[in-house]
Amino acid sequence: MVATTSPQRWKHLYSVLTKSGPFSDEDWVPGPETISALESSKILVIGAGGLGCEILKNLALSGFKDIHVIDMDTIDISNLNRQFLFRQSDIGKPKAEVAAAFVERRVKGVKITPYVGKIQDKDEDYYMQFKIIVCGLDSIEARRWINSTLIGMVDFEDPESLKPLIDGGTEGFKGQARVILPTLSSCIECQLDMHAPRPAVPLCTIATIPRQPQHCIEWAHQIAWQEQRKDDVFDSDDMEHIGWVYNAALERAKQFNIAGVTFQMTQGVVKNIIPAIASTNAVIAAATTSEALKIATSCNPYLENYMMYAGEEGVYTYTFEAEKKPDCPVCGNLARKLTVNPNMTLEEFIETLGERPEAQLKKPSMRTEEKTLYQRFPPQLEEQTRANLKLKLKDLIEDGQEIAVSDPAYIIDFRFRLAFQ
Amino acid sequence: MAEAFPSALVGPSSKERKYDRQLRLWAASGQQALEESRVLLVNSDEPWGKHNTGVSGVVGVETLKNLVLPGVGGFTIVDPAVVTEPDLGVNFFLEEESLGKSRAEETCRLLRELNPDVDGSFYTKSISELLKDPEFLPQHKLVLVSGPVKRPSLEAICKAAKEFGIPVIYTRSVGFYSTFSLQLPAAFPIVETHPNPESTQDLRLLNPWPELAAAGASIRNLDSLDDHQHGHVPYILLLLHHLEQWKEAHDGQVPSNYKEKSEFRELVRSSARTSNPEGGEENYDEAVAAVLKTLNPFSLRSSLREIFEMEECKHPAPDSANFWIIAAAIREYYQRHSVLPLPGSLPDMKAQSADYVSLQNIYKSKARKDIEEVTQIVRSLEAQLGPRPAPASDKDIEVFCKNAAHIKVIHGRDIPIVDGEATTLKAIRNNIDIPDSLVPTFLAFQALDDIITDIQAGKISEEALDDEKVWGSAIDHILGAFQPEGASTIEDGDARERILQAAQELRRTQGGELHNISSLTGGLVAQEALKVITRQYVPLDNTCIFDGVRSRSEMYKL
């Protein structure tokens, strides 16, 4: 690569790379080698959305020269209030490509390689080429996937196989940034229960006793659509589909004298919209890229390992060290304990796994050491094990027995030890 | 069958779609306030000596980015600087072709590209020049000042803004550290503070109004209900019912301490039916869980008590803002009833649809009645006060009543400087020795301000930015401010050592910005700006310090 490093241009950055600070490690050697280590560090950004746009800009202005970015999405009008690399005329184009081109144009000498697609399309060889991975995602599932992939890649003989993962996330005025050293520090899976999903409304409420406008929307989305338009695949980006659900929900709300169904709320419920603003993204993205710079250059100590931010009342941050859990299904070697009601059927247990903060598995298959309890695929096996769904847990397993759970969203098995209530 | 529910003809407008993700935070009212506001950014003052162009102004530009995207009405950039090579290494809103051109003009142009709905303008004159025009400042709802700047300039801006009641945010970002302070008017009231929804529930179970009490009495025949009905009685009614039972057995008294409440909770728990197939009842579980949280007598929060004691609340004047008229009316309401107007919201709970809706209506009608009473008080106060620019709107009164328990008034303070207010000195003294305190970092920034002031006055050269002796004496000068009161804590070598350490990190870049830290700070500052402009949520009071070495921050009232 052609070096376009002008010392004048990078004056401020170079001064922290060529001069020790009061908190830099004593063994650190500042100077040209540190600069060239930074400039030759290949770095991967996962997500080119609200956080991703900021992360790309920040990395380019932090002296990284070889940046890759993955995102499968295209640009939507609702992105424009924060995803500042996109314009009205970019709507419909792939985020990764537009973002990469914009930052390359603006910051001279940086190379940004976009990939439009899923992180799951790429294998270990691909991830092995990077020095650091920075995530700006809105999906817990994708985070868990990259986390377990990076942990699986660690070869203790080869220090280069350990890829620091820096993760950012936001919701409204709140967010968090965390640094994960796969196998060495607390991982995404260790911290899973800190990010519990919102509890779902019970189906019987939706089907028979709605009380809130949201219940009416869920009914229109989950039940009325199935009954009346089952041949159309529901698309939450299709305004006609949302409009239909909105009207169906309105009708139901009227029937039950429930006030408050709006179009905006309908969209929010069916798309599970999380509020997002530019300023929160700026805070969290810069928190992650500041750590990337520190890790790539050692110019200051990096975050160990979690910073949360809340901006509703003043500026509040809390920085702490999340603990590595010995029973983490991904980086630990003990099975994670789940307390269950032994009278629950296997089917009910499977449903709860989707919501339990410590599991969050939507399509699990499971087995004990001796037998398969339920297997979704292939169909023959599904048929063979289907009868187990109606059986109670106490008739299938022993108190304290370990089960292995797999889920199509993840490459690894999760080990749980089921303790009876 | 697809026709059964015809599609809506009117969906959201393209503007609503563009701003959807933020409207869910501050609603149309916040958006309107934002769109009606113009923000002034003073992004540099003058160079630091002969060879240093001075503040890069990245925090300022990044802050504006975060305000232009959500659709602030407009912005004005004041920046006499010309774009130099180092600017291109830190500022994303400049490009190769910008070199040698006006930085105000170039950043303004590239920021405007972000949102066609936003107006942007720029001045290459200095702020002191512009302040001579009395009409200049009042066009703006907020002033951002990128520091460090020399003291006299900062003081002139803050003084002028204070006269017009315009809030000011003064920011500095150097190396891995940043800090900013917010100067608000002497009284800055907020109605929509957006507290945690759980803390806003006011169910009045211990002192139900007649309609609610009647609803509680309507389930006297609880035992005769079949299992399905019994399992669907809203927990609010269960609690009211069992409270009556309790009162009969306890001389008409409600459970008032932890022991009694625990006993009461057992009474409720034991009334659940367990012979059904589920082995229990969800509505009873909800009732049991709610006992300790909801069975508390009404008490006025101390923040509100303080507001009620404020002169303007007790005796609003003809020129008082509508906030004070409504606050005075709420105060009057409280004096009459010993409670606040009912917010009227009801949490979701296990219940049949119709039962829930009718209970909800009992809460809603009471809230409406309370709003009517408050409105009457407001109107009579308005009549007493004589002609006013605009009467309080019904909408404002309604929003106020719903949020009454959580309103806030922040008493704005000046941008803190060490040789300024006595309260600032005191706050610094109280916080400097706390382990991990970031006050030493704040004091290092104060020393930097002093050094910049001397450089801009021509007393010392820009070499001073990394000069051991200059920094040492600047820090000693600051510590000297604490001497008259004989503060042994500040003399203590440890504090000086920590300030020197922080100063060393500032000296590392000779006052220069790192993009990450400035971008993060621009995010924090924009967040505060949005809260000030929309008058929603609670802004900083008054200083934030960010430590990028340790990835943490602290807030101080300085």
Any idea which fold A336-420 has? 3.10.290
Determine the distance in angstroms separating the CA of B527 from the nearest CA of chain A, rounded to an integer. 6
* Virtual torsion, Cα B300, B306, B180, B104, nearest 10 deg: 100
Best of B69, B111, B173, B410 to substitute, by most chain A Cβ atoms within 10 angstroms, is B69
**Architecture of the domain delimited by A203-271:** Orthogonal Bundle (1.10)
Answer whether A221 touches B (CB < 8 Å): no
Question: Does residue B488 have a pLDDT over 60?
Answer: no
- Write out chain B residues lying below 8 Å of A267, CB-based: 12, 20
Q: Do B65 and A311 touch (CB under 8 A)?
A: no
pLDDT over 70 percentage in chain A: 99
Answer whether A216 touches B (CB < 8 Å): no
Q: Do A12 and B25 touch (CB under 8 A)?
A: no
**Domain limits, chain B:** 14-187+514-556, 205-294, 302-410, 422-508
**Architecture of the domain delimited by B14-187+514-556:** 3-Layer(aba) Sandwich (3.40)
Q: Do A21 and B504 touch (CB under 8 A)?
A: yes
- Write out chain B residues lying below 8 Å of A342, CB-based: none
Residues 354-413 (B) with a CB less than 8 A from some CB of A: 354, 356-357
Give residue-wise pLDDT tens across range A105-116: 999 999 999 999
Of B47-51, B87-91, B493-497, give the range with the top mean pLDDT.
B87-91
pLDDT over 90 percentage in chain B: 82
- Please answer whether residues A109 and A65 qualify as being in contact, where contact means their C-beta atoms are separated by less than 8 angstroms: yes
Question: Does residue B323 have a pLDDT over 60?
Answer: yes
Q: What's the pLDDT score for residue A5?
A: 62
Q: What does DSSP say about strands A42-46 and A66-71: parallel, antiparallel, or unpaired?
A: parallel
Answer whether A192 touches B (CB < 8 Å): no
Please provide the average confidence, as pLDDT, over all residues in chain B.
93
Give residue-wise pLDDT tens across range A372-421: 999 998 888 899 999 999 999 999 999 999 999 988 888 788 889 999 98
Answer whether A131 touches B (CB < 8 Å): no
Is pTM beyond 0.90? Reply is yes
Q: What does the alpha-carbon distance between residue A138 and residue B386 come to, in Å, rounded to a whole number? A: 55
Q: Which of A53, A187, A190, A204 is catalytic?
A: A204
User: What's chain A's Rg over C-alpha atoms?
Assistant: 24
Tokens of B478: 């600051």
**Residue B393 — φ and ψ, nearest 5°?**
-80, 155
Can A328 be counted among the known catalytic residues?
Answer: no
Ranking A263-267, B251-255, B417-421, B427-431 by mean pLDDT, the lowest is B417-421
Give residue-wise pLDDT tens across range B181-219: 999 999 999 999 999 887 778 999 999 999 999 999 998
Determine the distance in angstroms separating the CA of A405 from the nearest CA of chain B, rounded to an integer. 28
Give residue-wise pLDDT tens across range A169-224: 999 999 999 999 999 999 999 999 888 878 888 889 999 999 999 999 999 999 99
**Domain limits, chain A:** 11-172+276-303, 203-271, 336-420
Helix (H) or strand (E) holding A417: strand A414-420
Give residue-wise pLDDT tens across range A22-58: 999 989 999 999 999 999 999 999 999 999 999 999 9
Residue with tokens 């000296």: B507
- Please answer whether residues A341 and A421 qualify as being in contact, where contact means their C-beta atoms are separated by less than 8 angstroms: yes
Q: List, edge to edge, every strand of the sheet that includes A316-320.
A: A111-116, A66-71, A42-46, A132-136, A165-171, A174-180, A306-310, A316-320
Closest C-alpha to B92, from A221, A107, A378, A269: A107
Question: Does residue A258 have a pLDDT over 50?
Answer: yes
Q: What does the alpha-carbon distance between residue B136 and residue B40 come to, in Å, rounded to a whole number? A: 10
- Write out chain B residues lying below 8 Å of A212, CB-based: 348
Q: What does DSSP say about strands B188-190 and B408-410: parallel, antiparallel, or unpaired?
A: antiparallel
Q: What's the pLDDT score for residue A333?
A: 75
Residues B108-120 have a mean pLDDT of 97
Q: What does the alpha-carbon distance between residue A152 and residue A132 come to, in Å, rounded to a whole number? A: 16
Determine the distance in angstroms separating the CA of B85 from the nearest CA of chain A, rounded to an integer. 5
- Write out chain B residues lying below 8 Å of A310, CB-based: none
Q: What does the alpha-carbon distance between residue A92 and residue A90 come to, in Å, rounded to a whole number? A: 6
Give residue-wise pLDDT tens across range B448-477: 999 999 999 899 998 999 999 999 999 999
Q: Do A15 and B512 touch (CB under 8 A)?
A: yes
Q: What's the pLDDT score for residue B2?
A: 41
Higher-scoring residue by pLDDT: B265, A5: B265
- Write out chain B residues lying below 8 Å of A264, CB-based: 12, 16, 20, 23-24
Answer whether B510 touches A (CB < 8 Å): yes
> Hey, is B68 helix, strand or coil?
helix
- Write out chain B residues lying below 8 Å of A244, CB-based: 2, 5-7
Question: Does residue B490 have a pLDDT over 70?
Answer: no
| Contacts for B266 with CB less than 8 Å, ≥ 6 apart | none
Answer whether B430 touches A (CB < 8 Å): no
- Please answer whether residues A317 and A305 qualify as being in contact, where contact means their C-beta atoms are separated by less than 8 angstroms: no
* Identity of the residue in A22, A211, A279 whose CB atom sits nearest the CB atom of B351: A211
Q: What does the alpha-carbon distance between residue B60 and residue A105 come to, in Å, rounded to a whole number? A: 23
Question: Does residue A284 have a pLDDT over 70?
Answer: yes
Among chain B residues, the shortest Cα distance to A284 is held by B520
Determine the distance in angstroms separating the CA of A9 from the nearest CA of chain B, rounded to an integer. 4
Q: What is the DSSP letter of A344?
A: S
Question: Does residue B427 have a pLDDT over 60?
Answer: yes
Residues B249-277 have a mean pLDDT of 93
Question: Does residue A337 have a pLDDT over 90?
Answer: no
Q: What's the pLDDT score for residue A315?
A: 97
- Please answer whether residues A164 and A332 qualify as being in contact, where contact means their C-beta atoms are separated by less than 8 angstroms: no
Residues B264-290 have a mean pLDDT of 92
Higher-scoring residue by pLDDT: B162, A333: B162
* Identity of the residue in A77, A286, A313 whose CB atom sits nearest the CB atom of B519: A286
Answer whether B170 touches A (CB < 8 Å): no
* Identity of the residue in B21, B351, B515 whose CB atom sits nearest the CB atom of A276: B21
CA B14, chain centre distance (Å) = 29
ipTM score = 0.94
Q: What's the pLDDT score for residue A61?
A: 98
- Confidence tier at B1 by pLDDT (50, 70, 90): very low
Q: What does the alpha-carbon distance between residue B552 and residue A316 come to, in Å, rounded to a whole number? A: 9
Helix (H) or strand (E) holding A61: none
Q: Do B85 and A12 touch (CB under 8 A)?
A: no
Q: Which spans in A111-235 are helix H?
A: 124-128, 140-153, 203-207, 213-218, 225-228
Count, residues in chain A: 421
| Superfamily of domain A11-172+276-303 in the CATH hierarchy | NAD(P)-binding Rossmann-like Domain (3.40.50.720)
Q: Do A22 and B501 touch (CB under 8 A)?
A: yes
Question: Does residue B4 have a pLDDT over 60?
Answer: no
Q: Do A277 and B21 touch (CB under 8 A)?
A: yes
Give residue-wise pLDDT tens across range B326-362: 999 999 999 999 999 999 999 999 999 999 999 999 9
Give residue-wise pLDDT tens across range B401-417: 999 999 999 999 999 99
Answer whether A354 touches B (CB < 8 Å): no
- Please answer whether residues A224 and A253 qualify as being in contact, where contact means their C-beta atoms are separated by less than 8 angstroms: no
Q: What does the alpha-carbon distance between residue B43 and residue B76 come to, in Å, rounded to a whole number? A: 10
Q: Do B353 and A210 touch (CB under 8 A)?
A: yes
- Write out chain B residues lying below 8 Å of A81, CB-based: 18-22, 69-71
- Confidence tier at B485 by pLDDT (50, 70, 90): low
* Identity of the residue in B89, B193, B527 whose CB atom sits nearest the CB atom of A279: B527
Residues 89-128 (B) with a CB less than 8 A from some CB of A: 89-90, 92, 95-96, 113-116
Q: Do A12 and B509 touch (CB under 8 A)?
A: yes
Q: What's the pLDDT score for residue B481?
A: 83
B124 by Cβ neighbours in 10 Å (0-12 / 13-18 / 19+) ranks as middle
Q: What's the pLDDT score for residue B58?
A: 98
Closest C-alpha to B546, from B514, B508, B500: B514
